Structure 1
Amino acid sequence: MKLFPTLASLLLCAALPLLAHAKTAAKGCTDVTVDGYKARDYGCMSQQMGNDPDAAKAAQKNREAQNIPVQKRPPNQVGLSTPAATSIRMGNTFGTAVKPQRP
């Protein structure tokens, strides 16, 4: 009678990799193992990730986040001079002369 539970657990352990493989095959993507290295089907994976209905909304929010209005950008991105840059350019004549120390 002790042989039956041991045999059942052995069969279950042997069937687990097959069940795991069946789950991955049911999703549609196939993993191939060559010389111990796994090669994934990235085309299939990206296609599965691309079927998200919220992807268009997320892409729109990303575009909106990258388009910062001009009045909210830092001055050095717009092309304006900052006080720190002006003081470096003017050197020891900053605030006392019109001619800069450095060109």
Structure 2
Amino acid sequence: MKTRWIWVLLMTASAAQAEEPLGCVEVTVGGYKAPNYDCLSQQMGNNPEGAAAAQKNMEAMNVPVHKRPPNQLGLATPAATSTRMGNTFGTSVKPQRPPN
């Protein structure tokens, strides 16, 4: 009868160790908090919606070329040309240069 209780106790202990904790434990030592980064990483990595969100982020980053703004394509824009030409924009073909 004793061996049966020991066996049940061991099975319960091993089942408790196999379960993942619901929350992470923060330990305070000498006034400093020390979170369990392994637990936090597991919680962040086990999100089933995370893969879908990562896929949407990649799709948002890959904008087709015909929808990109001209400054991302290396084309001249009026604002960039005005900055490059200075006060001669619209009056001369030579950019403004400071006096030597």
Distance (whole Å) between structure 1 residues aligned to residue 79 and residue 29 of structure 2: 59
Specify the alignment match of 2:42 in structure 1: 47
Partner of 2:5: none
Using the size of structure 1 for normalisation, the TM-score is: 0.59
Task: Provide the C-alpha distance between the structure 1 equivalents of 2:81 and 2:96, rounded to a whole number of angstroms.
Answer: 11
Aligned length: 78
**Cα 1:33–1:94 shift into 2, 3 Å:** closer
Of 49, 54, 61 in structure 1, the residue corresponding to residue 56 of structure 2 is: 61
Residue identity matched to 2:57: N
Distance in 2, matches of 1:28 and 1:84, equals 53
CA-to-partner distance for each residue in 1:2-57, whole Å, 9 max, x for gaps? xxxxxxxxxxxxxxxxxxxxxxx942633221002210001211102211111111
C-alpha displacement of 1:86: 2.0
Unpaired segments ≥5 residues, structure 2 = 1-19
TM-score of the aligned structures, taking structure 2 as reference length: 0.60
Structure 1: unaligned runs, 5 residues or longer: 1-24
Q: Secondary structure at the match of 2:51?
A: helix
Output the CA distance in 1 between the equivalents of 2:44 and 2:36: 13
CA distance in 2, matches of 1:36, 1:93: 64
Give me the whole-angstrom Cα distance separating, in 1, the residues matched to 2:41 and 2:91. 62
Q: CA RMSD in A?
A: 2.5
